[in-house]
Amino acid sequence: MGYKLNLENLNIALKELSKEYRIFAPKVLSGEGTFSDTDIVRYGEIETVQEIEFNKKSQFSYKEVLLPIRQTLFFFTEDQIKEAEVEEKAALIFLRSCDMNALKRIDDMYLRNGFEDIYYKKLREKAKFVLIGCEESFDSCFCVNMGTNKTDEHDAYLKVSGNYAFVDIKDSSLLEVFASLTKEEVEVTPDFVEENEVKVNIPENLELKVMNSKMWAEYSERCIACGRCNFVCPTCTCFNMQDIFYKDNKKAGERRRVWSSCQVDGYTVMAGGHSFRNDKGQRMRYKVLHKVYDYKKRWGYNMCVGCGRCDDICPEYISFSNCINKLEDAMEEVK
Ligand code: SF4
Ligand code: SF4
């Protein structure tokens, strides 16, 4: 059972929720696109439902709310260390099914991979998630083949139609906020896409020897190692460490972690200067097999959720979904 209420009342609910939560949703950032006079859709704080962009895919995912692009972990002096504070206020995040499924992958990495990351855990524990349905697939999505077109992990669901909002609230604390508002009880069922135009086929017989295929050579030429595909990916979780020393006291500073990318130069540089995967085709191979091969061996499902953002953002028009679809022939080639 859910509710139908008008957008004015939904905004009253959002205002009430903003006392406890920072509210994040995909929104249009005018003039902030890659090229001059272009817009970008990415996550930002909102106050009203009208600010949410429902009709376009966000180019970046919500992950920067829980895993900031740059995050100070601790401050240090010569003989003292002080852990950095983590944002006190909880986050309420509006997101689509693919991203809800991506959250499970980020939790794997930061909570279940042999240790719990305290910085992530503090933000994650308090966060609530509101599902935005998908009436239709966007052009580059392939969530259906990745099995991520549906979810039931959300705390609430929201659909906007005209001047009305249709909500289904599973979380009791969120439900309380709606108690005093004028609303009508209605059946609300999430919209999930059942078909994408883009189809992918991950061959059943995929094995590590696909590393030896000639297919990777194409990417040595075409990829420019910009890392954009990793930064927009809701399931990429790698970071680098930076120690920043203050100018006025060079013996004090802070340690930060900063998003990183397995496609960029320097990612695999070891102490002593040795670097693995200097070739960009090798980096592509590493990324692809991590997303659709070895992760599944460890966790039982693929890492990639088929959001298609990497295809949308690549300046060299390299398509991840096309790459997956070459794996079958590649396995034939190396068998
Ligand atoms: S690899 Fe590409 S399609 Fe898959 S989850 Fe990451 S950005 Fe989305
Ligand atoms: S976005 Fe494209 S060009 Fe940039 S690193 Fe990724 S695959 Fe290479």
Looking at residue 36, its pLDDT comes to 84
User: Given 3-state DSSP classes, what are the helix, strand and coil percentages for the chain, each rounded to the nearest 5?
Assistant: 35, 20, 45
pLDDT at residue 147 greater than cutoff 80: yes
% the chain with pLDDT above 70: 100
Question: For residue 285, which ligand has an atom nearest its CA?
Answer: 2
Question: For residue 223, which ligand has an atom nearest its CA?
Answer: 2
Looking at residue 161, its pLDDT comes to 96
Spell 223-246 as b/e; 16+ CB within 10 A means b: beeebbbbbbbbbbbebeeeeeee
The chain-wide mean pLDDT, for the chain, equals 96
Cβ-in-10-Å burial (0-12, 13-18, 19+) of 284 comes to buried
Return the ligand 1 atom nearest residue 140 CA. 3
- Cα 7–chain centre separation: 28
pLDDT at residue 1 greater than cutoff 80: no
Give mean pLDDT, residues 294-317.
97
Which residue owns the Cα nearest ligand 2 atom 8? 223
* Contact call for residues 286 and 268 (beta carbons, < 8 A): no
Give me the sheet containing 21-29, strands edge to edge.
40-45, 21-29, 90-95, 128-132, 156-161, 164-169, 2-6, 184-186
> What are the structural domain ranges in the chain?
2-59+89-186, 208-334
* Contact call for residues 193 and 317 (beta carbons, < 8 A): no
pLDDT at residue 138 greater than cutoff 90: yes
Looking at residue 40, its pLDDT comes to 93
Q: What is the pLDDT of residues 226-268, one digit of tens each?
A: 999 999 999 999 999 999 999 998 899 999 999 999 999 999 9
For residue 140, report the distance from its CA to the centre of ligand 1, in Å: 10
Residues with CB under 6 A from ligand 2: 223-229, 263, 313-316, 318
For residue 310, report the distance from its CA to the centre of ligand 1, in Å: 6
- Give the mutation target among 218, 316, 321, 324 for probing the ligand 2 site: most ligand atoms within 8 A of CB: 316
Q: How far apart are CA 140 and CA 321, in angstroms?
A: 8
Looking at residue 30, its pLDDT comes to 86
Q: What is the pLDDT of residues 90-123, one digit of tens each?
A: 999 999 999 999 999 999 999 999 999 999 999 9
Q: Residue 111 belongs to what H/E stretch? A: helix 97-111
Q: pLDDT band at residue 166, thresholds of 50, 70 and 90? A: very high
Indicate the Cα dihedral angle 105, 108, 111, 112, nearest 10°: 170
